[in-house]
Amino acid sequence: MTNLRIPGPIPVPDDILETMSWQMINHRGPEFKDILFRTTEGVKRVFETKNDVFIMTSSGTGAMEAAIVNTLSPGDKIVNVSVGVFGARFGEIASVFGAEVVKLDFPYGTAVDLDKLRDTLNAHPDIKAVLVTHNETSTGVTNDLQAIAAVAKREFGKLVLVDGISSVCSIPLSTDAWGCDVVATASQKGWMLPPGLAFISFSEDAWEAHAEAKMPRFYFDMSAYKRYFEIGQPPYTPAISLMFALDLALQKIEAEGIGSVFERHFSMAQMTRDGIKKLGLTLFPRDESIASNTVTAINVPEGVDASKLIGILRTEHDIVLSGGQASLSGKIFRIGHMGYTTAEEIQEVMDALAVALPKVGFSPTRIEA
């Protein structure tokens, strides 16, 4: 079977896949109402929030858009804190909908510098919201969201909008305790599901902002989701099959315990990082303490053709890895280990790299433990 090791979508466990072949039900009937209420409560527990959480039919970008259009008006000033491609996308969406975007960009491979965030917030007292990526999938870097939210929310009283797409359910994120107003995530990452659902939380401050927010919205207007939720329905036809799958995925997550899910992600990531270093390769994040537990970004060694390496892994080993995005194309490659990833799957990647690297002109310095 193909070892799909990209940073989402991820291989979905068989029992979850099977639920997706079940017959349709009435999405405005009692059976769906039970599923909607049960899954929403389950998602809330993963988010560690008592606030509203909505299950949307969309990929993660839809939830990023929803975070923005539901809390902001054209002309509002925001700071977009970015450490990579997805960080830039968050700011771009805000800009498309008319926000005045102050860009706070950090070099790829580094994390957010809190002092620079403070400087920016001091320099622009009229900033309304801070947009930030928890885990930057394009660079394999996890930001210290707790510290960022403490500065943005507690020190400066700003609205905090979080792209938690490749972190929630894999890396600890305490929505309420950390003061995150809106957190957006997507099913194809740590949730062990196919793509197609997005989850979004809204704090009381986010609802207050919503009451004033004038950005255009229809499909992603969260007040419709809220109104319909009260009668146990989604506003529009939901992805029923994915809801069956979510119901089972949440049962599995609860049976394992969310703490164990986080630990499993840490240990698969650590195994990947150790394996990479044993091969003589280096991690892209400048400091290992900021390296992500859901995706490992690795420098392509000098003189190595990244697409050739990825091609050999695909055709000769049935392993699918990701290259670098945008300006990182050809410079890094990435191994995804979110969702249900086993030690055997990671070992298989390391063994295949040991065989493939010499074929692209790099001699692995494999140190056997």
Q: How far is the CB of 369 from ligand PMP (least distance, A)?
A: 32
Q: How far is the CB of 82 from ligand PMP (least distance, A)?
A: 11
Closer residue to ligand PMP in complex, CB, 131/243: 131
Q: How far is the CB of 196 from ligand PMP (least distance, A)?
A: 9
Q: How far is the CB of 8 from ligand PMP (least distance, A)?
A: 5
With contact defined as beta carbons under 8 Å apart, do 39 and 246 qualify?
Answer: yes
Residue nearest ligand PMP by beta-carbon distance: 60
Closer residue to ligand PMP in complex, CB, 196/301: 196
Q: How far is the CB of 33 from ligand PMP (least distance, A)?
A: 27
With contact defined as beta carbons under 8 Å apart, do 239 and 196 qualify?
Answer: yes
Closer residue to ligand PMP in complex, CB, 3/167: 167
CA pair distance 238, 133, nearest whole angstrom: 27
| DSSP designation for 13 | P
With contact defined as beta carbons under 8 Å apart, do 144 and 111 qualify?
Answer: yes
CA 275 to chain centre: 24
Closer residue to ligand PMP in complex, CB, 88/147: 88
With contact defined as beta carbons under 8 Å apart, do 147 and 114 qualify?
Answer: yes
Angle at 38 between CA 34 and CA 41, to 5 degrees: 145
Q: How far is the CB of 250 from ligand PMP (least distance, A)?
A: 19
Closer residue to ligand PMP in complex, CB, 108/156: 108
Sheet with strand 332-336: strands edge to edge: 295-299, 332-336, 322-323
Closer residue to ligand PMP in complex, CB, 52/163: 163
CA pair distance 67, 336, nearest whole angstrom: 26
The tokens for 201 are 């939380």
Q: How far is the CB of 123 from ligand PMP (least distance, A)?
A: 27
Which residue(s) pair with 327 in the sheet?
Answer: none
With contact defined as beta carbons under 8 Å apart, do 59 and 186 qualify?
Answer: yes
CA pair distance 42, 48, nearest whole angstrom: 10
Give CA separation, 325 vs 22, 84, 332, in Å.
37, 9, 9
Q: Enumerate binding residues for ligand PMP (CB under 6 A).
A: 8, 59-61, 86, 133, 135, 137, 163, 165-166, 186
Give residue 118's identity as a one-letter amino acid code. Answer: R
Closer residue to ligand PMP in complex, CB, 170/352: 170
Which residue(s) pair with 279 in the sheet?
Answer: none
Q: Is residue 207 within a helix (H) or strand (E), and if so which, with residue range?
A: helix 204-212
The tokens for 193 are 């599901």
Q: How far is the CB of 167 from ligand PMP (least distance, A)?
A: 8
Q: How far is the CB of 366 from ligand PMP (least distance, A)?
A: 31
Closer residue to ligand PMP in complex, CB, 86/191: 86
Closer residue to ligand PMP in complex, CB, 8/234: 8
Residue with tokens 């010499």: 358
| DSSP designation for 141 | E
Give CA separation, 20 vs 78, 233, 254, in Å.
40, 20, 20
Give residue 84's identity as a one-letter amino acid code. Answer: G
Closer residue to ligand PMP in complex, CB, 42/194: 194
Residue 72's SS3 state is coil
Q: How far is the CB of 59 from ligand PMP (least distance, A)?
A: 3
